[in-house]
Structure 1
Amino acid sequence: MASDPKTDLHRYLRTAREVLLWKLEGLSDYDVRRPLTPTGTNLLGLVKHVATTEQGYFGACMGRTFPETLPWEQQIDDGTDPNADMFATADESREDILSLYARVAEFSDGVISELPLDAPGVVPWWPEERRYVTLHLLLVHMVAEVNRHAGHADILREGLDGAAGLRAGVTNMPEQDWVGYRERLEQVAKEASGRA
Structure 2
Amino acid sequence: MTTSSQTPAPFLPGERGELLHALAEQRALLLITVRGITDAQAAERTTVSELTLGGILKHLTRGEQVWTQIMAKGDGELPDGMLDMEQYRMVEGEALAELLEQYTAAAQRTEEFVATLPGLDQSVPLPKTPWSPPETVYWSARRILLHLIRETAQHAGHADIIREALDGASTTAQR
Q: What TM-score do the two structures reach when normalised by structure 1?
A: 0.71
Contact 1:157 1:164 in 2 (8 A): yes
Show structure 2 runs of 5+ residues with no match: 1-12
* Alignment-mate amino acid for residue 6 of structure 1: R
1:46-90 residue CA offsets vs partner (Å, 9 max, x unmatched):
0100010111111134317xxxx98xx2xx64xxxx520011211
Please tell me the root mean square deviation across aligned C-alpha atoms, in Å: 2.3
Shift of 1:122: 2.1
Structure 1 residue 167, shift from structure 2 partner: 7.8
Moved more, 84-93 or 138-147: 84-93
CA distance in 2, matches of 1:127, 1:53: 20
Find the counterpart in structure 1 of residue 140 from structure 2.
134
The count of corresponding residues between Structure 1 and Structure 2 is 155
Q: Which is higher, the Rg of structure 1 or of structure 2? A: 1
What residue is the counterpart of 1:154 in the other structure?
A: 160
- Report the TM-score when normalising by structure 2: 0.79
1:122 matched to 2:132? The reply is: no
Distance in 1 between residues matched to 2:133 and 2:98, nearest whole Å: 33
Q: Give the 3 Å change call, closer, same or farther, for CA 152–29 of structure 1 in structure 2.
A: same
* Percent of residue pairs identical: 26
SS of equivalent residue, structure 2 residue 139:
strand
Summarize the alignment of residues 1-196 of structure 1 with structure 2, pairs less than 5 Å apart: 4-63=14-73, 73=81, 77=83, 82-115=84-117, 116-124=119-127, 125=129, 126-129=132-135, 131-166=137-172, 168-169=174-175
Separation (CA, whole Å) in 2 of partners of 1:168 and 1:39: 24
Which structure ranks higher in relative contact order (CA pairs < 8 Å, sequence separation ≥ 6)? 2
